[in-house]
Amino acid sequence: MPHLALEHATIAYGRQPAVQDVSFHVASGEILGLFGRNGVGKTTCLRALIGQLPLQQGRVCYDMQDISTLAVHRRALLGLGYVPEDRRVFGRLSVRDNLNVAAKQNPNDGTGWDLARIAALFPELDSLMHRPAGLLSGGQQQMLAIARTLMGNPQVLLLDEPSEGLAPQLVQRIQRTLQDLKAGGIAMILAEQNLKMCFALCDRVVLLEKGRVIGQYTVDELREDPALIMRTLGIGA
Ligand SMILES: Nc1ncnc2c1ncn2[C@@H]1O[C@H](COP(=O)(O)OP(=O)(O)O)[C@@H](O)[C@H]1O
Ligand SMILES: [Mg+2]
């Protein structure tokens, strides 16, 4: 059962630690929320998990293995998939080529994701396969960013603010997809500032403030403690 954990992580840009002594984990079929306002360290944690940033202290564990020093592509081959906040699709390449490039970078054994399965998950993309990705709408690009990561056959999907900049209808559309993926057994870590999205999707939520974990809560616990949420959002106390 794949299990991804960040353990007592301190991560710095230069001298200043952006994240200090942060620990959390996610298991198969579970969605963990990383919630907090701008600058608390959500992206930093995700980038450390996939190997884009080194840890000053602590470790990254996957499936009982310490993977803290593995390169990005090695972690991808083990099953970590990352959907960055800025989506980073190849604007001049067609939708299909964006997907094929991702499949080539991380080939799977034929039992995983292919174009047909992507088209079934995102019928919206099926009719746009030949369109340059740069001409897609924001919502379509977000779907493509998720689809492209799926082509690498991830067991754990790390999503950085997938709802950002999308109209409410599209946010719900993305939510439904993530629910389907969860039902298929993929574990997810969802960095979000969108509380509704966290409530709709997450099993547990880690609250971050100024690079530290305030606590980990179930969605029910959070619903019952509005003051805690206000604090995390920097409103009121
Ligand atoms: N490339 C970088 N260089 C220097 N500081 C950075 C860089 N990226 C993020 N930071 C700092 O690290 C802290 C955490 O940022 P980030 O992880 O992006 O937060 P979030 O994703 O929660 O908005 C912030 O203080 C931010 O200014
Ligand atoms: Mg961020």
Distance, in Å, from the CA atom of 181 to the CA atom of 118, rounded to the nearest integer, reads 12
The reported pLDDT for the residue numbered 226 is 84
Ligand 1 closest atom vs CA 37: 22
Question: pTM score > 0.85 for this model?
Answer: yes
- In this prediction, residue 231 carries a pLDDT of 80
- CA pair distance 65, 63, nearest whole angstrom: 5
- Region 1-79+155-163+178-237: CATH code: 3.40.50.300
- Give the model's confidence band at 107: pLDDT under 50 very low, under 70 low, under 90 confident, else very high: low
Which-ligand-closest: CA of 85? 2
Q: How confident is the model at residue 102 (pLDDT cuts 50, 70, 90)?
A: confident
Residue 108 has pLDDT above 70, yes or no: no
What is the CB < 6 Å shell around ligand 1? 13, 18, 36, 38-44
Confidence at residue 110, expressed as pLDDT on a 0 to 100 scale: 66
- Give the residue whose CA is nearest to atom 25 of ligand 1: 39
Q: Which atom of ligand 1 is nearest to the CA of 47?
A: 17
> Hey, where are the domains in the chain?
1-79+155-163+178-237, 87-153
How many angstroms does the Cα of residue 84 sit away from the middle of ligand 1?
Answer: 14
Mean pLDDT over the full length of the chain: 92
pLDDT in tens, 53-99: 999 999 999 998 999 999 999 999 999 999 999 888 999 999 999 99
- Best of 13, 19, 38 to mutate for ligand 1, by most ligand atoms within 8 A of CB? 13
**pLDDT band at residue 104, thresholds of 50, 70 and 90?**
confident
Nearest CA to ligand 1 atom 14: 41
pLDDT over 60 at 237, yes or no: no
Residues near ligand 2 ion, CB 5 Å cutoff: 42-43
CA nearest ligand 1 atom 1, residue: 13
